[in-house]
Amino acid sequence: HVSTKPPPEPSPLRKAKFFQANMRILVTGGAGFIGSHLVDKLMENEKNEVIVADNYFTGSKDNLKKWIGHPRFELIRHDVTEPLLIEVDQIYHLACPASPIFYKYNPVKTIKTNVIGTLNMLGLAKRTGARSESSSLCTYYLVLGNVDPLSHHLFLGQNRILLTSTSEVYGDPLVHPQDETYWGNVNPIGVRSCYDEGKRVAETLMFDYHRQHGIEIRIARIFNTYGPRMNIDDGRVVSNFIAQAIRDEPLTVQLPGTQTRSFCYVSDMVNGLMRLMDGENTGPINIGNPGEFTMLELAENVKELINPEVKIITVENTPDDPRQRKPDITKAKELLGWEPKVKLRDGLPLMEEDFRDRLGISRKK
């Protein structure tokens, strides 16, 4: 029996909340490199309220200083391996150290962050209603007039959780370039496994919550990303080379130097992540820049652009270093209408400026 009575008028307070249609967005790991740029972009939209949960392991409040105190922004010191009980509409789940020296520093903690951290964020998504069918169910209840129409997250039907996975799920790839159908070549017991196997389990959890509980999910497989706010001494190759060039120290190319990576500028990455979140595809989708460089070529570029006097030396490598990596971004182009715009040679000088500011070393005249 369907009632013909119109639904009750919402109270003025709730009506206001409804028409505001604010989206409350949680960014875990939002004090980090990619996360803080994502927060900047999300805050540009006045309808968004942004909550960052971060334990400051590799991130810093400094990256968010312009938002602290803003009425639409909230920063919580929180470790995602612990449950988090808050009300949110969307979750960008980034929390996890990304640089090899940090994720190898406490590998057990890295696994916990990837597995228990992702489980907790999925539990949060489940409790707050990130269900694929939520919008149609809500419309149904609205017609019946017997449900609170102002659980605005349900009404918008945009409740979802996005995981930042990684190209490392492809391991030392036997397929080149890597597309999303490739299952990878990963060492399960190596020193990088806490990170790459951790992310593989995180992806599995995302899909199991999707299949078992109808959670609306998005998975981005991020390829090497660079830009301002990277940790200066975090050991990643672009930050190392730029800091070395600025400090007049030799650029340390790890042997053999012919290994390749593809580097995506952070603004392109953030746009890709938001397209994925707002689009209709679960992924996994590769987000990265297909321009491929050997580490020797990268060093040559940094030398030419930043410090032509600097030396390039070769040093020992670390175990299990992937020999090549380049994303196939056909899916991102077709399904998200996204592709990167910033070329390496344009992005490196932007990062140099930020590093010079933070290191307090200006360019020689």
Positions in the binding site for ligand UDP (CB under 6 A): 83-85, 100, 119-120, 123-124, 126-127, 224, 236-237, 240, 252-254, 259, 261, 295, 317, 321
188 touches 169 (CB < 8 A): no
24 touches 153 (CB < 8 A): yes
Q: What is the dihedral sign for C-alpha 193, 194, 200, 205? A: positive
Determine the distance from the C-alpha atom of residue 129 to the mean position of all C-alpha atoms in its chain, rounded to a whole number. Answer: 22
Give min distance, CB of 235 to ligand NAD, in A.
11
Structure tokens at 196: 């790459």
Amino acid occupying residue 264: C
Residue 358 has phi, psi (to 5 degrees) of -75, -35
Give min distance, CB of 173 to ligand UDP, in A.
12
Give min distance, CB of 91 to ligand UDP, in A.
10
Q: Is the peptide bond prior to 308 cis by the omega test (within 30 degrees of 0)?
A: no
Nearer to ligand UDP, 34 or 274 (CB): 34
Residue 56 binds: one of ligand UDP, ligand NAD, none (C-beta under 5 to 8 A by kind) = ligand NAD
d(CA 285, CA 265) in angstroms, rounded, equals 17
Site string for ligand NAD, 216-255 (x = CB under 6 A): ------x-xx------------------------------
DSSP per-residue string spanning 119-160: HHHHHHHHHHT-BTTHHHHHHHHHHHT-S-TT-HHHHHT--E
How many residues at the interface with ligand NAD, by CB under 6 A?
28
Nearer to ligand UDP, 221 or 275 (CB): 221
Residue 81 binds: one of ligand NAD, ligand UDP, none (C-beta under 5 to 8 A by kind) = ligand NAD
Give min distance, CB of 251 to ligand UDP, in A.
8
Residue 112: CB partners within 8 Å, gap ≥ 6? 81
**Beta strands, E only, the chain:** 23-28, 48-54, 73-77, 90-93, 160-166, 217-222, 225-226, 251-254, 260-262, 264-265, 285-287, 292-294, 312-315
Active site residue 209: no
Q: Of residues 48, 89, 117, 289, which one binds ligand NAD by CB under 6 A?
A: 117
Q: Of residues 58, 120, 259, 267, which one binds ligand NAD by CB under 6 A?
A: 58
Residue 252 binds: one of ligand UDP, ligand NAD, none (C-beta under 5 to 8 A by kind) = ligand UDP
Residue 90 binds: one of ligand UDP, ligand NAD, none (C-beta under 5 to 8 A by kind) = none
d(CA 224, CA 345) in angstroms, rounded, equals 15
Residue 57 binds: one of ligand UDP, ligand NAD, none (C-beta under 5 to 8 A by kind) = ligand NAD
334 touches 281 (CB < 8 A): no
Structure tokens at 149: 């129409």
Residue 59 binds: one of ligand NAD, ligand UDP, none (C-beta under 5 to 8 A by kind) = ligand NAD
Give min distance, CB of 86 to ligand UDP, in A.
7
What is the SS3 assignment for 196?
A: helix
Give min distance, CB of 313 to ligand UDP, in A.
10
332 touches 266 (CB < 8 A): no
Catalytic residue among 92, 103, 195, 226: 195
Residue 57 binding ligand NAD, by CB under 6 A: yes
Residue 120 binding ligand NAD, by CB under 6 A: no
Which chain residues interact with ligand NAD by CB under 6 A? 28-29, 31-35, 54-59, 79-81, 94-98, 113, 117, 164, 166, 222, 224-225
